[in-house]
Amino acid sequence: MTGGLLTLPAVKELLDRAGTAPRRSLGQHFVVDPNTVRRIARLSGIGPGDRVVEIGAGLGSLTIALACSGAQVVAVETDGRLVPLLRETVDACAPPESGTRSERGNDTNGRVRIVHADARHLDWNALLPGTGWHLVANLPYNIATSLVLAVLDEVPAVAALLVMCQREAAERLAAAPGSGAFGAVSVRVAAHADAELAGAVPSTVFFPRPEVESALVRITRRTPAMDCALRAEVGRLVTVAFARRRQMLRRTLRTVFDNADAALVSAGVDPTERPERLGLADWVRLASVSLGAAVSASGSQHRT
């Protein structure tokens, strides 16, 4: 270890002693560069008194860097083989006066709580009481996008995210209209928050070394939140539209509207435009038209 942070020799020693290895099925690539986890902790902007949830804590290098900022950390790990090693890593960084391992349980210096659970099936309300939480994580590539969207949709307690994921996924999360990476995911993120790329991460800082490059993306939830029904309708429309992103909206949205041209014109959108050219404001206006039409149709049926 370097200052309590895991290096490549330390990671290999931990895994060898436990008789285990990274699982490709879980997308496990452990950060073995102390400067990288220090950088992530710094870019997250957290400090003493902040509350952080880390998904995919692994062996604990980022966990320790987050705790060293003075923040309270909830470290979630799904792999039962790694949980004892994570506890060992966290435990090794506790000062002697904080007590024996058995006395501390899952806490180190009162700042780290380890939770053995699958992040896709968490009771987030029970795990993260109150508001103003940060999510900081090296996310497994196979769940990164879906997890970010689920947190934005379902976990308002998380106010800010700084996540590391595959570079292409990070670009989609933060993409602007008109860019090649812009798509339904970009709009769904934008309906909740402001997102930006926060830097590249080379494959050389991981063990095992992935075949793809990684990047950091910073996502900051906006307040007040968009109306839930409006946001859900935006999500429905972009899912339909981007399924055939090279086609004109008048064609892709004819399955949604009785008269797609009229709906698009009513929303101030050119019917010949393609979905990647529309910004969030355009989708919000179009969703408002869609919801208004649904309400009108419902009222007509009720009167009949």
CATH: 1.10.8.100, 3.40.50.2300, 1.10.3720.10, 3.10.129.10. Which one for 228-303?
1.10.8.100
Question: Quick one: 8-221 is in which CATH superfamily?
Answer: Vaccinia Virus protein VP39 (3.40.50.150)
Contact 69, 4 (CB under 8 A): no
Q: What is the pLDDT along the chain (304 residues), one digit of tens a residue?
A: 565 689 999 999 999 999 999 998 888 899 999 999 999 999 999 999 999 999 999 999 999 999 999 999 999 999 999 999 999 999 887 655 444 343 334 444 568 999 999 999 999 999 999 999 999 999 988 899 999 999 999 999 999 999 999 999 999 999 999 999 999 999 999 999 999 999 999 999 999 999 999 999 999 999 999 999 999 999 999 999 999 999 999 999 999 999 999 999 999 999 999 999 999 999 999 999 999 976 554 444 444 4
Q: Could you tell me the residue ranges of all domains in the chain?
A: 8-221, 228-303
CA distance 100 to 20: 26
∠ CA 194-199-201, nearest 5°, is 135
**Strand pairing category for 158-166 and 214-221:** antiparallel
Residues 6+ apart with CB under 8 A from 185: 145, 149, 172, 173
Residue type, 118: D
